[in-house]
Structure 1
Amino acid sequence: MKNTGYFTIAMLLLLLSACMTPKESKKEAELFEKGTQIENSNFTGTAWLNMLTAPDSLNTMYAGLVTFEPAARTNWHSHPAGQILIVTQGEGYYQEEGKPKRILSIGETIKCLPNIKHWHGAAANSEFAHIAISDRQKGAAEWFQPVTDDEYLK
């Protein structure tokens, strides 16, 4: 039964890829709702979370859509089981500790290895969204200090 999580994620990715065509109009509905504004100290700026699938008794994986306002970002953090990010909107950044910041665009996928300290968020002039997929079987994310403005702007 553990494979149900992988099936759910595979179906989510298939649905997402089928819907990832250029928008003809900004009036078109988004694939997913923004969700609820995140009210914790693990983010700089405003971000929203829409949990697409939560861990349960059948599997420990989860997937959530995170939408960032321009310049919003996560704190430095790591995931014991790693993390996959699938960019669904806008332009954003991803950076692992000790490495240069990467620019991310719609359709890109990032595989964060287990226990690698990193951050991600929106570019200064773009709203940004991604689906974050991870597994809580090895524990929850570990959160660290905020990304400074100097780190963000490098």
Structure 2
Amino acid sequence: MHITRTRPESQAGPAANFTGVVWLDEIAAPPPPSRLRMFNVRFAPGAHTAWHRHPHGQVLHVLEGEGLVQRKGGEAETIRAGDTIWIEPDEWHWHGAAPRTFMTHLAVVEAADDGTTTHWDAHVGADEYPVA
């Protein structure tokens, strides 16, 4: 057993992967053979990820606020505090806050053998992010 009493400082979500103000806090990244990675992600109103996918899928658990999640080819869906979302391996998607509310979620992924957790793509277009 190992108890971590300190963690890395909060990191701003890089503009290459996020639209708007996003803060990332690494919760867990245990040493190998574990491939688990867990982050607490805080989105300001309207902030969201670019399109991306994860080699082993992703679990999101909404802690507070209201947000949106969309898979490629599907409709954007509202997510709220208490919701848990399973995103299939290699499923293109994006997620973030609703237009007028903050949203915080836990994000859990498993790294691939090469250490990759995420494959990033284009930013979500203005016609894809619902503002109403």
TM beyond 0.5: yes
Asked if 1:142 corresponds to 2:119, the answer is yes
> Which stretches in structure 2 are left out of the alignment for 5+ residues?
2-8
* C-alpha distance in structure 2 between counterparts of 1:152 and 1:56, whole Å: 37
TM-score of the two chains, using structure 2 as the length reference: 0.86
* C-alpha distance in structure 2 between counterparts of 1:149 and 1:90, whole Å: 22
Structure 2 counterpart of 1:147, which letter? V
Q: Post-superposition, which runs of at least 4 consecutive aligned residues in structure 1 deviate over 2 A?
A: 137-140
* C-alpha distance in structure 1 between counterparts of 2:38 and 2:117, whole Å: 13
* C-alpha distance in structure 1 between counterparts of 2:14 and 2:124, whole Å: 17
CA RMSD of aligned residues (A): 1.7
Structure showing the higher strand proportion among its residues: 2
Report what 2:43 is aligned to.
Answer: 68
Task: For 1:19-98, list aligned pairs within 5 A.
Answer: 35-98=10-73
Percent identical among aligned pairs is: 35
Structure 2 counterpart of 1:122, which letter? A
TM-score of the two chains, using structure 1 as the length reference: 0.75
Asked if 1:106 corresponds to 2:81, the answer is yes
* C-alpha distance in structure 1 between counterparts of 2:14 and 2:69, whole Å: 22
Bigger Rg over Cα? 1
Structure 2 counterpart of 1:48, which letter? W
